[in-house]
């Protein structure tokens, strides 16, 4: 029932003693220098586990939420908000299958994906982890993602998937990570639970509990929903997993009684959890039958994964990491995720023969910035990482005329025929991305410097195409008015050249808004923002909006 970090100083002794059920890799020291070393590290831990008594194989879990994003050189897909914009279940399934294969190639048999939250306030720092505010669309893409990740579970190219975070994580007041979800039980049933029903029906192997509270209780300790609804009513047979430090944060033995089966005993929780749970069983606070149920669920999934017969990752998969075939699927996902919000006088598609194009902004030349959080590092990175292609590079490869890069948006190119201006958010993850959190200066509109990029070029009469790189819809009403064309590109991942391919008309726009697009900051004064929860607020663009190039005659 214990999940521990692979670099925990206690890990080897605990594994050798048979007291660890799963190992997790997330932010922290890497398992090695390359995929073979990662596999070697996890193989050594697996060998220790299988040499203990009883010989129970380990599960190896990783936060692979848009590709195997903890491994530099892997294929990184658009975050789920971009996949939601594609509305393409087949594509989501392919992306999940590639993520599974590249996760296995780096030593993992379990991924903590997909996030199937329904976000209702763009101030939440995890909006981009979810597919859409549409329950129906989220249901459809949940099924596709689980099919892709899990395939036939015993196949060594697939992994166990995790539906998260159960439940209400995206629907807290004012979008506060871990805040209170003040919906009625009927609203949760109608809007938030259908994707979980779809996940369970699809055979998802694990569900992760969320940080938020509901009815005054932490969700980790909410027995009525975890045991009553998920396990009994939905007949979920898999592993109910805590989130980070769930034991010490949300009620210790109470979370086990509520139905948590495996605990992320990390960051100092390992001994606390094991000793605390043992004492709770000895005093009768936690029944042995509850422990038996948890262990049975964990063993069931290990059997379904075929770990008793095939406990080790295959070295033959290593060469598939970041391969051309995988990157082409990611590039297709980028192309189909782009949402065209404005295209005055059909300024797009751009002509590759345009004499002089100026590309503006740091987001145009950084694969880290274009990928967002959960990319190489937990909070993302602003640097270029191995194997990725930037938006600027993609433009340079297609454009036949002169391409100038203006990182600071100076406007010092008055003779330019077209300005492609890339603006947006810096990378962030979890509560560090909450608007208004003390850890950041994030806002729902563009920074003054990014507004200046657009103004500097527009003032010179140069046609302006704005590409917005963001993890959520932003208040850009003025900037959309100022621009000649405006594109919501979300967080496209490693294949920035997919954006260039659409800008120059090699492919048409297909993306449709997975969220309503806000018109004003005033729309967020109410706790759930401008979406389906408050029909009195009229968005700038509705859910499902998206333009295309006119058909060629």
Give the CA radius of gyration of the chain.
Answer: 24
Cα separations in angstroms, 470 against 129, 262, 433, 445: 12, 34, 11, 11
Sort strands 217-218 and 339-343 into parallel, antiparallel or unpaired.
Answer: unpaired
Length of the chain: 553
Sort strands 485-490 and 339-343 into parallel, antiparallel or unpaired.
Answer: antiparallel
Q: What's the CA gap between 131 and 368, in Å, rounded?
A: 21
Reading the block at residue 188, the tokens are 């949760």
20 exposure class (CB count in 10 Å sphere: 0-12, 13-18, 19+): buried
How many beta carbons lie within 10 A of that of residue 344, not counting itself? 12
Q: What's the CA gap between 94 and 284, in Å, rounded?
A: 47
- Rounded to the nearest 5 degrees, what angle is found at the Cα of 331, between the Cα atoms of 346 and 206? 125
Cα separations in angstroms, 332 against 153, 326, 501, 551: 26, 10, 10, 20
Q: What's the CA gap between 463 and 418, in Å, rounded?
A: 5
Backbone angles phi, psi at 491, to 5 degrees: -120, 95
208 forms beta bridges with: 164, 241
Reading the block at residue 167, the tokens are 């439940």
Q: Which residues of 19-150 form beta strands (DSSP E)?
A: 22-25, 59-62, 110-111
Reading the block at residue 31, the tokens are 């398992």
- Supply the DSSP symbol for 367: H
Backbone angles phi, psi at 423, to 5 degrees: -130, 170
Cis peptide before 54 (omega within 30 of 0): yes
Determine contact, residues 511/332, Cβ cutoff 8 Å: no
Instruction: Catalogue the active-site residues.
Output: 243, 430
Q: At what angle do helices 89-105 and 324-337 cross, to 10 degrees?
A: 140
Q: What's the CA gap between 161 and 149, in Å, rounded?
A: 6
Determine contact, residues 510/86, Cβ cutoff 8 Å: yes
């Amino acid at each position: 029932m214990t999940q521990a970090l692979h670099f925990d100083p206690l890990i080897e002794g605990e594994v050798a003693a048979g007291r660890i059920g799963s190992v997790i890799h997330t932010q922290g020291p890497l398992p090695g220098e390359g995929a073979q070393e990662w596999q070697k590290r996890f193989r050594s831990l697996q060998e220790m586990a299988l040499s203990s008594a009883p010989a129970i194989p380990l599960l190896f879990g990783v936060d692979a939420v848009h590709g195997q994003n903890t491994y530099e050189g892997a294929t990184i897909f658009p975050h789920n908000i971009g996949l939601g914009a594609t509305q393409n279940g087949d594509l989501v399934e392919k992306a999940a299958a590639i993520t599974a294969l590249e996760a296995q190639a780096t030593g993992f048999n379990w991924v903590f994906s997909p996030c199937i939250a329904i976000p209702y306030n763009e101030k939440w720092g995890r909006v981009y982890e979810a597919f859409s505010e549409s329950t129906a669309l989220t249901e459809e893409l949940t099924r596709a993602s689980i099919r892709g990740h899990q395939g036939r579970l015993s196949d060594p190219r697939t992994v166990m998937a995790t539906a998260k975070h159960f439940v209400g994580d995206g629907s807290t007041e004012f979008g506060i990570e871990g805040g209170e979800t003040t919906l009625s039980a009927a609203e949760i049933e109608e809007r938030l639970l259908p994707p979980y029903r779809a996940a369970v029906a699809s055979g998802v192997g694990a569900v992760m509990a969320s940080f938020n509270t509901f009815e005054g209780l932490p969700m980790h300790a909410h027995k009525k929903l975890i045991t009553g609804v998920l396990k009994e009513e939905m007949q979920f047979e898999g592993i109910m997993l805590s989130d980070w430090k769930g034991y010490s944060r949300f009620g210790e033995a109470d979370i086990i009684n509520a139905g948590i089966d495996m605990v992320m005993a990390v960051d100092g929780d390992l001994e606390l959890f094991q000793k605390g749970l043992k004492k709770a069983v000895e005093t009768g606070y936690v029944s042995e039958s509850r422990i038996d149920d948890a262990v049975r669920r964990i063993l069931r999934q290990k059997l379904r994964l075929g770990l008793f017969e095939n406990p080790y990752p295959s070295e033959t998969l290593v060469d598939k990491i970041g391969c051309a075939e995988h990157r082409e699927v990611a590039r297709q996902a980028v192309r189909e995720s782009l949402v065209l919000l404005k295209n005055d006088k059909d300024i797009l598609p751009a002509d590759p023969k345009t004499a002089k194009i100026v590309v503006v902004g740091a987001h145009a030349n950084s694969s880290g910035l274009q990928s967002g959080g959960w990319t190489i590092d937990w909070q993302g990175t602003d640097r270029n990482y191995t194997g990725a292609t930037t938006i600027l590079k993609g433009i340079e490869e297609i454009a036949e005329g002169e391409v100038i890069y203006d990182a600071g948006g100076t406007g010092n190119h008055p003779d330019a025929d077209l300005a492609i201006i890339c603006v947006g958010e810096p990378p962030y993850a979890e509560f560090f991305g909450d608007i208004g959190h003390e850890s950041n200066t994030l806002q729902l509109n563009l920074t003054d410097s990014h507004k200046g990029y657009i103004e500097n070029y527009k003032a010179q009469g140069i046609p302006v195409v704005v590409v917005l790189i963001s993890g959520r819809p932003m208040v850009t009403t003025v900037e959309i008015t100022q621009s000649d064309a405006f594109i919501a590109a979300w967080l496209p991942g490693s294949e920035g050249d997919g954006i260039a391919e659409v800008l120059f008309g090699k492919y048409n726009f297909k993306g449709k808004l997975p969220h309503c697009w806000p018109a004003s900051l005033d729309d967020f004064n109410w706790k759930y923002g401008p979406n389906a929860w408050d029909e009195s607020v009229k968005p700038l663009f509705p859910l499902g909006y998206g333009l295309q190039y006119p058909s060629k005659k």
